[in-house]
């Protein structure tokens, strides 16, 4: 009987040890709370901003080329459309960058009004 109690205590100790190790492993595998930007997200953000700018320029070039071919006004409409495409790309980059800024809570002064 004492032998069974000893085995029972050993098993309980082993289960407690296993429970502690499993809890530690689960905690280690949980996603970390975001405290700023990590390398992967900054790369994705930079890629998105570059794509926004390049897309605006590309649309301007293609649309300008097409209009030049259509109206036989070579290079003038392309130059104008490249400028408009660049402006649109910059506006898109600014809009996308604004969306990335974390929203801060309202100031206390605003709540008192």
DSSP state string for 85-101: HHHHHHHHHHHHHHHHS
The predicted model scores a pTM of 0.58
For 76-101, what is each residue's pLDDT tens digit? Answer: 999 999 999 999 999 999 998 888 77
CA distance 113 to 107: 11
33-37, 57-61, 62-66, 102-106: range with lowest mean pLDDT: 33-37
Nearest 5°: the CA angle 61, 64, 70 is: 140
CB-based burial, 63-94: b 16+ in 10 Å, e otherwise:
bbbebbeeeeeeeebbebbbeebeebbeebbe
Banded model confidence at residue 107, pLDDT cuts 50, 70, 90: very low
Helices (H), the chain: 2-29, 39-71, 76-100, 108-112
């Amino acid at each position: 009987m004492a032998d069974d109690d000893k085995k029972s205590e050993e098993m309980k100790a082993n289960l407690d040890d296993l429970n502690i190790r499993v809890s530690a492993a689960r905690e280690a595998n949980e996603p970390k709370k975001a405290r700023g930007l990590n390398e992967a997200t900054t790369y994705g953000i930079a890629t998105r901003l570059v794509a926004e700018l390049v897309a605006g320029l590309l649309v301007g070039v293609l649309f300008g080329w097409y209009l030049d071919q259509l109206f036989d006004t070579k290079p003038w409409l392309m130059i104008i459309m490249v400028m408009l495409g660049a402006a649109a790309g910059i506006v898109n980059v600014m809009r996308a960058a604004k969306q990335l800024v974390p929203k801060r809570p309202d100031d206390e002064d605003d709540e008192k009004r």
